[in-house]
Amino acid sequence: MKHILQAGQARLADLRAIRDGATLELAEGWGIDVAAGLETLHNALASGEPLYGVNTGFGKLASTRIPAGELAKLQLNLLRSHAAGTGEDLPRPVIRLALALKAMSLARGASGVRPEMIETLLALLEHDMLPDVPSQGSVGASGDLAPLAHLSLVLVGEGSATDASGVRRNGDAALLAIGRLPVVLGPKEGLALLNGTQVSTALALDALFRAEDLLRASLLTGAMSVDAARGSDTPFDPRIHALRGQPGQIRTAAALRSLLAGSAIRESHRYGDVRVQDPYCLRCQPQVAGACLDLIDNAAATLEREANAVTDNPLLVAGGELLSGGNFHAEPVAFAADTLALAIAEIGAIAERRIALLTDPVLSGLPAFLVKAGGVNSGFMIAQVTAAALASENKALAHPRSVDSMPTSANQEDHVSMATGAALRLRPMLDNLQGILAIELLAAAQGIEFHRPLTSSAPIETAHAAIREHVAPWDEDRLMAPDIAAARKLLAGARLAALVPLP
């Protein structure tokens, strides 16, 4: 599927589709802005004035003038010297996003590059020939310099790229495989490729999309836990949430009401139940999940703006001027990533408490650790311990990265955002959250079976049937790890998320 987008006007749904394999085509007319920017650059060069990174050095070397005969070498050396990343390569979905974001940014005409630069980026994306980019090496200011250098080397026939089948090629061979030739860099093109927040933004967007999916999953597993524990749906009454007025709280309460509507298990204890209130992990789900949803929505708005931004430096602006500024500073991305981390940690923290409740016979009224023959069988005892370990790890990882700064480039770049690290740590946090929710899905499904022949609501019974296609009921102890892996795989798909109405 191809998405035709106007540079600067991409929506999150478009970006999610590109991450998942859609190709990008820029809407007709983008070359006009690019040509205008290129003309402005050439006029500025002809004036003989010092232009940062074009006819001067970089960072602390900005006062060093570069002779006209060495301008092309300056740009190529920039790519080579800045390709100083380390660590595991970034995941392919992140690289797809980074290529798209860089192409759209350059296509706005403020960076002074030729059309063939943008066309080559789009060709790599279209053929799924993705540059190999180490994950570590950016502090989220002056652009994501090291990772973008590795990404950009392929355009000049250096570095390496890997195709969809896993075959890795040198840069020139990768270009040849998709019918392109290496690009010879123009006066500002190396700098335009390296300056920008595209990698940190791509990492944060990838995490955002996963966080949105797992929040939905947590509402489903949370609703299942309510029925498994014979909890009340009264706390989800819309009148409660209208009085507070928090939008995420109102929306998640509506989702929980819908998920529990028609449950015969709920009806069985509506009257005569001596319990007055459920524990917070059941009763306060709208307040917690709703606050998390608001954080996710706020991060989404920031990241959508950043995805459409021009974060190069210097910039070619209206009036024919070349202005030096700091749009490459990724503070908005760092804050968005840090707030996503808070949401991810809290979704997992309250889910772990629901698992603990279900395994505690005093609180749940269910057999201890959700197995009938306790003693000889330990049931879900250690599964809850695993969930606790994952939740604890996420709490440590949730520490904000944006409050840190470490000066670089001989103190010329003396305050940095750490946005790339902030976004990079979201991936393991999401993996941990998926593991917690997988355990809750298994535990809640087991708990519901103790109420048979009573049934739950239609969506919960659908979810229950889905997990039972892969995991048998827990009648006696067996290996738990394969069951958790099966539940994780189910959560990774769209099947369960589709059951959750989130207005």
Active site residue 52: yes
Q: Which residues contact 132 (CB under 8 A, 6 or more apart)?
A: 89, 150, 159, 160, 161, 162, 168
Token pair in block for residue 378: 């330990």
How crowded is residue 160: how many other Cβ atoms within 10 Å of its Cβ? 17
Sign, Cα dihedral of 129, 135, 136, 137: positive
49-57, Cβ contacts within 8 angstroms, sequence gap of 24 or more: 51/188, 51/314, 51/322, 52/313, 52/314, 52/324, 53/78, 53/188, 53/191, 53/195, 53/313, 53/314, 54/112, 54/187, 54/188, 54/191, 54/314, 54/322, 55/187
How crowded is residue 28: how many other Cβ atoms within 10 Å of its Cβ? 9
Sign, Cα dihedral of 300, 305, 307, 308: positive
H or E element at residue 162? strand 160-162
Residues in the chain: 503
Rounded to whole angstroms, the Cα distance separating 439 from 487 reads: 7
The residue annotated as part of the active site, out of 14, 19, 52, 187, is 52
Roughly how many angstroms between the first and final C-alpha of the chain, as a whole number?
Answer: 27
In order of 234, 238, 241, 339, the CA distances from 245 in angstroms are 18, 10, 6, 21
Q: Which of 490, 417, 494, 503 is nearest to 203 (CA)?
A: 417
Q: Which residues contact 130 (CB under 8 A, 6 or more apart)?
A: 92, 95, 96, 99, 124, 161, 162, 163
DSSP state of 170: E
Cβ(415)–Cβ(432) below 8 Å: no
Token pair in block for residue 227: 């029925």
Rounded to whole angstroms, the Cα distance separating 12 from 414 reads: 33
Convert 243-279 into a string of H (helix), E (strand) and C (coil): HHCCHHHHHHHHHHHHHHCCCHHHHHCCCCCCCCCCC
The backbone torsions φ and ψ at residue 26, rounded to the nearest 5 degrees and listed phi first, read -80, 140
* Catalytic residue annotation: 52
